[in-house]
Each structure stands twice: as structure tokens, then as C-alpha cells.
Amino acid sequence: MAKPVKLLLLTHNYPRRRDDYAGVFIALLARRLTKLNIQPVVVAPHDAEVPEREETDGIRIYRFRYASDPEKQTLAYRGNMHEQVFGSPLGPFRLQRFLKSFERLTLDVIEKEKIEVIAGHWLVPTGIVMKRIMRRTNLPMILSSHGTDIRLLAKFGRPVYRYFESLTRSLQRWTVVSSFLKEELTMLDPECESLLDVLPLPHNEKVFFRESEVKRQDNLIVAVTRFTEQKRVDLLIRAFHWVTREDRSARLEIYGSGPLEENVRALIAELGLERQVILNEPVSQERLREVYNRAAVVVLNSYREGFGLALSEAMLCGAAVIGTASGGITDIIEDQKRGLLVELDNVNQLAEAILRLLKNKVYRERLAEHGYRFARSHYASGPLAARYAEIVRQALAAHAADTDQPS
């Protein structure tokens, strides 16, 4: 067998311990790649009480410090980097230090580990680092986008995209997790369409599966989300309020955190739903499997979602799903075949969809079964990792061919 391809994975999210879910799908991909004759090496941010260098599952992980006090290293892993950067006068300076530290360690690791291919995750901030190191290395580069980065890029439009054009024009491939993101990028830059591959997030089928010993609760609705404007949690609660008028036994469990949590709590109190709506902190993947297996219905009614991971995970656990006809959710749910789609921000339609599934168990179980089969065939980590491994090899081969061409 040929020697493994040395692949450098650059990311601002990577698990810091066994029970950490930050960037867990990247770690899953890395583990799968080691079985496909590719040797991943990871560069990610440091955090308090985490070693600067470690080896886990045969994968070397290097972490860069970007503040003298580890407790002040908060830009990564909290899910609010852009809020920290733009919400404080010192935010841009903190970001610059973060990027400089990221760049410095990346260049050191490229030389030390004899890296052959660079694969970055998220255009921001990793794409900025990739753009900077282009001047210092001639290695082939792959970029993967998962939603948040492209949503922000679309918000600020073409002027901001121009900053990244030198990078995107030099990429060998650019993977995105949904056809929605591919369309967004193609609208920004039609010339990048030939670079783009739709490659969903790999799911760990050893973690998310149907558990026959867990009893499904016919009156339980679950949402795994964040308390942000994009996720529209307030509208879900208003829809649930309508549901309770017809079904007093219905219960809603929400798992998440975020800046609008107090607003959500206030709305629950205003509508008198304290006994029927339970807010929970985010939980481990193993605990989440049990939650999905208990749920009759899992709902994600967000706006311009890049993918919709909660829905696909719930499908693997045998739950029926409801989502908005917005963003990457439409890749996951085919309406009335493997779930229900509702109009964005249509509270009445969302309530009707929930009631329809609560009242009709036979219909609900049929949708859930179709969703389960689809998720098993489309989101299993093995085939997705194999596709990614092929992209890595193609990038290396294409780069070698370009380098060998006479000038």
C-alpha cells in the first residue's frame, strides 16, 4: 500500500475532550480518513485546561494559544465569534491575534509534519488563514463550508466576497453541506460553480440509531436548537401554544442555549406554558440519542439553515420530523414523504403540522420510517468519508499535474 497522504485539517472547532460536541463531525471525518490511507493532522484553537498537543485516535492535534491568560481565549467553541468581534471595541484586535497565532502554528505544522494537502473548515476564520498562507506555501487546498460562514458572506455580499477571491480561485475543491449553500455561492460568484461539491455532514451511526428499549412518547415534541433570531424558537413556542388548545397532553422539550434565552423564557411565562415547555442545556450526543428516541416529533423551524443536523440525527433515531421550507432543510425533508415542510414563519401551518403528526400515529410512523431509510443511505459516515478521501486524492493529483506543466 502507498504511504498515507498527509492532510492538514484547519478548523476553529474541534473536540477538546471525549464528551465535547464542538466540531464533532470533523473529528468523525478525521477518524474515518485514517482507515482510507489518509493521515489527518489537526490545527485548532487552544482552550482552558486543554493540552497544546495531543494524539487521539491516531490523529495528531496541535492547538494554538492566542491570549496569555487561557481564560480569555473565548473566541472559539462558544458559537458567538462574530458577536464577540463586532460587539466590542477590542474585538477586532482579539481576532487579529487569533488569526496570527493560527497562521503561525499552521506554517510550523506544515513543515514539521510534511503536509501534502490543506483542508480548511469554514471560510471564516479559517479561510482568512488559508488566504494568508497561500503566499508561503504551494500546497493544494480544499475548503469546506457548513452554513454560518456562507450565510454571513451572503449577508455582506459581493464586496466581502472579493476579499476571498484570490483564495477561492486557487482552491482545488470547495465542499458545502447542502444544495442551498451551493446555490448561494453560485449567485455570488458563478465562476466558482465548477469547484463546488455538495457533501453532507458525516453522521455517527454508532451514536445515532433506533433504540428499541427506549419508549417513544406519543405526545412529545423536541427541538434541538440555539436561541438566536435565525432559529425562530419564539415562533415554535407560539405554534406549540396553539397545539395545546387541542391537545392538553402535548409537551415540548427544547435543548439549546444562546443570546435570546431570556426572551424565550419570558415568552413561555407570558403564554402560561411553564409546565408544558421544558428548556434544557445542550447535552452529549449519547444523551441526545435517547432524547430523539423518546420524541414523537422533532422540529427545526429555522431560517436559511445551512443543513439541519438535528433533523437528520433525529431521522436516524426513528423520529418523525418537521422543518421549514428554507435553506438546506429541503435537502433532508421531502414533504409528506420523509417528514413535513412548512412555510417559513407561518405559525398556524407549523401548529397544524405538529397536530397532524400527534393525532395520526400511523402516518407519523410511515414518515419516520421513510426518513430513517433515507438518512441511513445518505448520511452514513463511511461513504461520505470515502467521497471526501477521493476529493483529497484528486486535489493532490490535479495539483501535481499543474505543477509538472512547463511554464
User: pLDDT digit string (tens) for 367-395?
Assistant: 999 999 999 999 999 999 999 999 999 99
Q: Which residue has the cell 432559529?
A: 231
Distance CA 273, CA 261 (A): 15
Query: Average pLDDT for residues 251-273, to the nearest whole number?
Result: 97
Task: Name the band, by pLDDT with cuts 50, 70 and 90, for residue 156.
Answer: confident
DSSP 8-state class, residue 157: -
| AA identity, residue 249 | S
What structural domains and CATH numbers belong to the chain? 5-202+381-404 (3.40.50.2000), 220-378 (3.40.50.2000)
Distance CA 357, CA 336 (A): 11
Task: Name the band, by pLDDT with cuts 50, 70 and 90, for residue 264.
Answer: very high
| AA identity, residue 274 | E
Residue 253, CB half-sphere, CA atoms under 13 Å: how many?
A: 19
Query: Average pLDDT for residues 323-344, to the nearest whole number?
Result: 98
Residue 1: its pLDDT value, please? 65
Task: Name the band, by pLDDT with cuts 50, 70 and 90, for residue 397.
Answer: very high
Distance CA 165, CA 339 (A): 38
Between the alpha carbon of residue 31 and those of residues 27, 40, 53, 381, 396, the distances in Å are: 6, 8, 17, 10, 20
Residue 33: how many other CB atoms lie within 10 Å: 23
For the stretch 26-74, pLDDT in tens is 999 999 999 999 999 999 999 999 999 999 999 999 999 999 998 999 9
Q: Are strands 220-224 and 59-64 parallel, antiparallel or unpaired?
A: unpaired
For the stretch 272-328, pLDDT in tens is 999 999 999 999 999 999 999 999 999 999 999 999 999 999 999 999 999 999 999
pTM of the prediction?
0.93
- List beta partners, residue 62: 43, 53
Work out the angle at residue 131's Cα, subtended by the Cα atoms of residues 198 and 12, and round it to the nearest 5 degrees.
Answer: 65
Q: Which residue has the cell 414518515?
A: 367
Alpha helices in 226-345 (DSSP H): 233-246, 261-270, 285-294, 309-316, 329-332
Residue 406: its pLDDT value, please? 53
Does 228 have pLDDT greater than 60? yes
Residue 135: its pLDDT value, please? 87
Contact 40, 149 (CB under 8 A): no
φ, ψ of residue 163 in degrees (nearest 5): -60, -35
Does 166 have pLDDT greater than 80? yes
Distance CA 296, CA 390 (A): 38
For the stretch 170-182, pLDDT in tens is 999 999 999 999 9
Alpha helices in 171-260 (DSSP H): 179-188, 233-246
Distance CA 325, CA 304 (A): 9
| AA identity, residue 163 | Y
121: its cell numbers: 473548515
Contact 268, 232 (CB under 8 A): no
66: its cell numbers: 492566542
Query: Average pLDDT for residues 222-241, to the nearest whole number?
Result: 97
Contact 287, 312 (CB under 8 A): no
Distance CA 102, CA 112 (A): 15
Task: Name the band, by pLDDT with cuts 50, 70 and 90, for residue 405.
Answer: low
Distance CA 182, CA 176 (A): 6
Contact 148, 309 (CB under 8 A): no
Does 407 have pLDDT greater than 50? no
Residue 378: its pLDDT value, please? 96
- What residues have CB less than 8 Å from 257, skipping those under 6 apart? 226, 227, 281, 282
Distance CA 219, CA 359 (A): 9
Distance CA 67, CA 101 (A): 9
Q: Are strands 53-56 and 59-64 parallel, antiparallel or unpaired?
A: antiparallel
